[in-house]
Amino acid sequence: MPATEAAVSPETTMTMLNSPTPEPASGTAGGSDRSTASASSSGSDDPPPAGGAGSALDTADFPTAPDAAPHSNRVGKVFVCSVAVVIAFMVWATIAPDALSDIMTRAMTTVSTGFGWIYLVVPFAAIAMLVSFAASRFGRLRLGSQDSRPEYRTITWLAMILAAVMGIGLVSYGVAEPMSHFMTPPHGLAEPETMDAAIRAMQFSYLDWGFQAWAIFGVFGLAIGYSTHRKGRPALVSTMLRPVLGRFVDGWVGNFIDILTIIATLFGTTTSLGLGASQIGEGLNTVLGVDSTIVMQIIVITVLTLLFTGSALTGVSRGIKYISQITLTMATLLGLFVFITGPSGFVSNLFVRSVGAFAGDFIELSFMTPTNAEDSEWMLGWTYFMMAWWLSWSAFVGIFLAKISKGRTIREFVAGVLLVPSAVFFIWFTVMGGSAIKFDMDGARIGDATQDNLDTAFFSLLDQLPLSMLASVFTIIMVILFFVSSADSNTFVLSSLSSRGSFAPRRPVIATWGFLTGGCAVVLLLVGGLQALQQAAMLSAVPFTVIVVVLGIALIKELRSDHQIVEEVARERRVLGL
């Protein structure tokens, strides 16, 4: 598959970010002891709502260290510099689109050929780190004081983790990625359009959407949760690096780190917005016969931008909470519909065989670098891009995971974040992709449609099922709701990060980031379509990869110096007479 069409969207990771803190689960001692906002959710086990300045994260969830300066929502250097960089980029794209496209293309080639292996090593290292934490004495540490307890029941907590990323990407690529790999098996590992190719297609889909992705999110979530809940620091990426960078995080180095975080997150959302516009445009073409032109996509982007920015400004938190619950339910119903009305027997057998093959080949797949130009192009379009994509969203999703995991042990956190979402995603891709593969084997030619246009893949599958028109309308509505509910929170996070970590950013700041997100999506579409959106997201993740590595080192230092661990080691040494 050409790199120009490989885009994936974990954009809906944060539909419930800026919420009031609920009461602790029955029988626990955790929970917030402040905020009038939490009173509105008293006794409720609902996931926290997303969006809006009026529903910002309670500071009791992310306490400020006693010696830290009080949070202020005044904008500073981080906001000014971030906005200046984004506007300069937009002006450049408008004035000299060809020059920008050429530079981005050459930069992408350099990154993929010279440093692409980093996008394989870092995610695998994240898996190894989390597993080692869970298996060691660190696994008993809690994200909070040692006597704190989880604020949500386990089943609710797991559902909230799943709701964080069930979005446009799963709709767009639940069919498109497996089908693309089925038609053109990665690295030439199978004959196209065979059962072996189907298994390989599932393996690489699992790789791109499974443990690696969630390990990246998990490292960030664990670092943020430990830093805020246990150490009482502000929820800024720069402050998490204090164990390594020391006082430098208080100066320009810290500001630079926060600016990189904002830029990476912005381009992650921008790509999602462009992807969502393409998917909605194709859906409208399927249902209404309206051509999905660049003009149509710009209109869709404009409407979506107005919707999610307006939602963030009005602070309709309860409405967004219900939207996030509805979209998760809709995704579940859609998956059941496809499984029940589709080739369920084939899908079940494919799932068992693919999971077994993936387990047996996991190490090899995790380190499979390209051996020729064709392989390099494929990696750039799929695995390299996806790993960079997850990296660009890691701070955003990490804040959410930290928010809902207060009181959990590190062992619980790792198990919940790594295992459950990966298993659910494996099932989703097998149901959607496996059904499409079976129909293609039977002559439906879904593969040909996918190779012509990835956006048609999902709707081509629905065409083979009963009530296809109704299912297509259902999917379009779901995609719109997914994006609006998630982009609301994304806008809030950008505003918070650029307002010195304040959980009550000013309305003009929220509006600025909302409109800049839409503006970037439009200019990048004009420069080079989804390829340009993809390149922007991947290039912005390059320096952020270094931050992730430093963050991992900082987290190890933090855990080793934790007072509980130090005391345990001291007791063991006394017992052993050392």
Q: What pLDDT, on a 0 to 100 scale, did the predictor assign at position 14?
A: 39
Residue 271 forms part of a structural domain:
yes
Q: State pLDDT tens for residues 77-118.
A: 889 999 999 999 889 888 888 888 888 888 888 888 888 899
Q: Is the pLDDT of residue 18 over 50?
A: no
CATH code of the domain in which 383 resides: 1.20.1740.10
Residue 52 forms part of a structural domain:
no
Residue 473 identity: V
Q: Is the pLDDT of residue 425 over 70?
A: yes
Map tokens 């093959």 to a residue.
357
| Higher pLDDT, residue 527 or 358 | 358
> How many domains are there within the chain?
1
Q: Give the residue-averaged pLDDT of 307-320.
A: 70
Residue 66 forms part of a structural domain:
no
Q: What pLDDT, on a 0 to 100 scale, did the predictor assign at position 578?
A: 64
Q: State pLDDT tens for residues 136-156.
A: 999 999 998 888 888 888 888
Band of pLDDT at residue 165, cut at 50, 70 and 90? low
**Which of 24-33, 231-240, 471-480 shows the lowest mean pLDDT across its residues?**
24-33
Residue 289 forms part of a structural domain:
yes
The runs of H, that is alpha helices, within 138-251 are 154-163, 168-183, 195-209, 211-225, 237-240, 242-245
Tokens of 301: 């982007």
Tokens of 425: 């995603």
Cα–Cα nearest to 269, from 389, 404, 370: 389
Tokens of 267: 């381009």
Q: Is the pLDDT of residue 174 over 60?
A: yes
Q: What pLDDT, on a 0 to 100 scale, did the predictor assign at position 319?
A: 55
Residue 128 forms part of a structural domain:
yes
Q: Is the pLDDT of residue 23 over 80?
A: no
Residue 409 forms part of a structural domain:
yes
Residue 331 forms part of a structural domain:
yes
Q: State pLDDT tens for residues 292-302.
A: 788 888 888 88
3-state DSSP of 337-393: HHHHHCCHHHHHHHHHHHHHHHHHHHHHHHCCCCCCHHHHHHHHHCHHHHHHHHHHH
Q: Give the residue-averaged pLDDT of 369-385.
A: 88
Q: Is the pLDDT of residue 476 over 70?
A: yes
Q: What is the DSSP secondary structure assignment for residue 246, as one 8-state letter? A: G
Q: What pLDDT, on a 0 to 100 scale, did the predictor assign at position 164?
A: 65
* Percent of the chain whose predicted confidence (pLDDT) is above 90: 33
DSSP of 70-135? PP-----HHHHHHHHHHHHHHHHHHH-HHHHHHHHHHHHHHIIIIITTHHHHHHHHHHHHHHHHHH
Q: What pLDDT, on a 0 to 100 scale, did the predictor assign at position 73?
A: 56
Residue 32 forms part of a structural domain:
no
CA–CA separation, 538 vs 515, rounded Å?
21
Q: What pLDDT, on a 0 to 100 scale, did the predictor assign at position 213?
A: 92
Band of pLDDT at residue 38, cut at 50, 70 and 90? very low
* Percent of the chain whose predicted confidence (pLDDT) is above 70: 83
pTM summary value: 0.82
Q: What pLDDT, on a 0 to 100 scale, did the predictor assign at position 234?
A: 78
Average pLDDT, the chain: 81
The answer to whether residues 378 and 370 touch, using CB atoms and an 8 Å cutoff, is yes
Range of the domain at 431: 77-576
The answer to whether residues 263 and 539 touch, using CB atoms and an 8 Å cutoff, is no
